[in-house]
Amino acid sequence: MVKIKTNINGIEYAKEVEDNQLLVDFLREELGLTGTHVGCDTSQCGACVVHIDGNSVKSCTTLASQVNGRELTTIEGLAKDGNLHPIQKSFQNNHALQCGFCTPGLVMSSVDLLDKNHNPSEEEIREWFEGHICRCTGYKNIIKAVQEAIA
């Protein structure tokens, strides 16, 4: 067992975790933050993306012990005071949700992209989403949602 202290969505946690426990399992099973999805367990689909210290990370290939002393944001931490984050709202406006399984990871990656590049081209958006799979093939509306958020 490993003791960790971490801030997740503005809440401090001090927990003991197995040294081989995946972050996605810690979030979902230990903390009940089920918005982070497990889609493939191989780092291929991107449904499990969260932010660690502001950077997109696939939580299915990150150990819970690696977040000791770090700040995390999950999809549950984006909305503030009952108001959707602008990226969440643009996904809603552009019907970029489809079945919704990939949506949390894509939203989290979109937030990171726009934090790092305030005006990405369509090509840069598409490149940023490498490693994300939308099985409903909603990519056109996902791209439109990010472009709306830029405006």
Q: What is the CATH number of the domain that holds 107?
A: 1.10.150.120
Place of tokens 């002393």: 69
C-alpha dihedral sign at 107, 108, 111, 112: negative
- What tens digit of pLDDT does each residue of 113-138 get? 999 999 999 999 999 999 999 888 77
**Same-domain pairing of 113 and 60:** no
**Same-domain pairing of 62 and 97:** no
Rounded distance, CA 73 to CA 53, Å? Answer: 8
Rounded distance, CA 34 to CA 75, Å? Answer: 9
Rounded distance, CA 108 to CA 15, Å? Answer: 24
Domain limit, last residue, from 49, 77, 105:
77
3-state helix, strand, coil in the chain (%, to 5): 40, 20, 40
Could you tell me the pLDDT band of residue 84, with boundaries at 50, 70 and 90?
A: very high
**Same-domain pairing of 23 and 66:** yes
- What tens digit of pLDDT does each residue of 39-77 get? 887 888 999 999 999 999 999 999 999 999 999 999 999
Domain span at residue 36 reads 2-77
Domain limit, last residue, from 77, 103, 120:
77
Domain limit, last residue, from 52, 77, 102:
77
The residues pairing with 50 across neighbouring beta strands, listed in sequence order, are 57
